[in-house]
Amino acid sequence: MTGRNPRTELSRRRLLVTTATGVAALSLGAGALLPRPAQAVTGTVRWVSPRGTIEVLDDYPYWVAKKFGYFGDIETTLEPGPMEATATVKLVDQEQSDMGYPSPGVFSLALEQGIPLVSAWEMGAYDVFDIALPKGSAVKSLADLQGKTVALGSAGWQAICDPMFAQAGVDPKAIKYAEAGSGWGQSLQQGQADAALSWEGLRAQWTGQGLDFDYLIGRNVSKFPANTFIMRRKDYEDASKKELYESYLRGWAMGLEYGHQNPRAATHIVMQQFPSLKLSPEIATESMMQLANVFRGNFEKRQGWGWHDLEAWQTFLTTIRKINQISKDIKAEDVIKNDYVAGANAFDKAKVAADAAGYALPDDYKAVDVEKIRARV
């Protein structure tokens, strides 16, 4: 998953299953076969962020997986990439990275340009994107922003916003966009725009930085999915690479499960990795939990971590076709793939739960009231 010129155009297998215990087998269902241990899988997976930085709480599942060895012997890298919106898809296409994390809008731009990519892992089951508003703003819906100015960190983020507005019945051409760089939140605070694009996780961090806004929360105003892990189609179609990517994604799935079991621990692991974030334990945990809510989605209706809802994706693709963000119809099943989901979710859940329960929290994190935060995210 970030004003000067308005209206600028948009612009890596099998994870650690530590032992084939009866508990793990039961968690997978009667007669299920556990995958090979991650140590039996080797290779390298390079993953690139769309944010221009990895010093964020967004990637907590990765840092949890690294800490607990859930990736096994797979060599992994997490790279920041340029902040420019389409960089993540370009880097994957140019084989400078193996997986990228674009928004659906940016992914669709790559497809429009004929870049042969598929989405292999749905991180954002709910729409992660929010609209920040000045405190006390009269704006109460997306429709109220017609004719107003929305601040963006990158001009390419217009591909995120246009479909959101179109879904709400607003002509995207009636929205003015202002590219404000890395200080786009500050530009809203300073009155240089009527609203700003934001997202879960960042919403809490902005509060911690003194940027106190009202919000239209994405999951309340949008039926769209959010950012996914994309990969080259040729790698997806290469049977010799399936075990590698399945095991890699299992690491992410275990990290996600860990964060669900113990959000304070997952947060503290990231903060230990990036002390420069300088967020209080409560703000940091709230940021993580906002993200975890989006990543989990309506889990009862999902087939595990990383599962794409093809109906939501088709709604998105149909919407962007109507507003000419893409010039031809795209079928969700052609570019949205759930092939890795079952294998990636075949891990020892009791092991992950034990890891999460056994984490030694420092006193300041023990004091964070998780249930209080859960009630407001």
98/164 same-domain check = no
CA dihedral 218, 219, 220, 223 (to 10 degrees): 100
Q: Calculate the average pLDDT of the chain.
A: 89
Q: Is 296 within a domain?
A: yes
309/333 same-domain check = yes
Q: Which amino acid is at 94?
A: Q
263/133 same-domain check = no
287/188 same-domain check = no
Task: Specify the number of domains making up the chain.
Answer: 2
Q: Is 15 within a domain?
A: no
Q: Is 346 within a domain?
A: yes
133/111 same-domain check = no
Predicted local distance difference test score (pLDDT) of residue 52: 84
Please give the average per-residue pLDDT across 113-129, as a whole number: 96
Q: Is 13 within a domain?
A: no
Q: Is the pLDDT of residue 33 over 60?
A: no
266/369 same-domain check = yes
Q: Is the pLDDT of residue 168 over 70?
A: yes
165/266 same-domain check = no
311/181 same-domain check = no
Q: Is 9 within a domain?
A: no
Domain residues for 153? 129-221
Q: Give the other-Cβ count within 10 Å of 368's Cβ.
A: 21
305/336 same-domain check = yes
250-272 core/surface letters (b: 16 or more CB in 10 A; e: else): bbbbbbbbbbbbbbbbbbbbbbe
189/241 same-domain check = no
Q: Is 14 within a domain?
A: no
Predicted local distance difference test score (pLDDT) of residue 64: 98
Domain boundary among 165, 198, 221: 221
Q: Is 277 within a domain?
A: yes
Task: Kindly state the DSSP code that residue 210 receives in the 8-state scheme.
Answer: T
Using one digit for the tens of pLDDT, what is the confidence trace for 201-242?
Answer: 999 989 989 999 999 999 999 999 999 999 999 999 999 999
Q: β-pairing, 129-134 with 213-216? A: antiparallel
293/346 same-domain check = yes
Predicted local distance difference test score (pLDDT) of residue 4: 38
Contacts of 276 (CB under 8 A, 6+ apart): 55
120/134 same-domain check = no
Q: Which amino acid is at 375?
A: A
Domain boundary among 221, 245, 262: 221
Predicted local distance difference test score (pLDDT) of residue 82: 84
Higher-pLDDT residue of 29, 167: 167
Higher-pLDDT residue of 16, 266: 266
Give alpha helix (H) positions in the chain. Answer: 22-28, 60-68, 87-93, 104-112, 158-167, 184-189, 202-208, 218-221, 233-236, 242-261, 263-273, 281-296, 310-322, 332-335, 341-344, 349-357, 363-366, 370-376
| Plot region of 337 (φ>0 → left; ψ -120 to 50 → alpha; else → beta) | beta
Q: Is 369 within a domain?
A: yes
Domain boundary among 189, 205, 221: 221
Using one digit for the tens of pLDDT, what is the confidence trace for 360-369?
Answer: 999 999 999 9
Give residue 83's pLDDT band: very low, low, confident or very high (50, 70, 90).
confident
Give residue 278's pLDDT band: very low, low, confident or very high (50, 70, 90).
confident
Look up the pTM and report it. 0.85
Contact 126, 149 (CB under 8 A): no
Q: What is the CATH number of the domain that holds 276?
A: 3.40.190.10
Q: Is the pLDDT of residue 19 over 60?
A: no
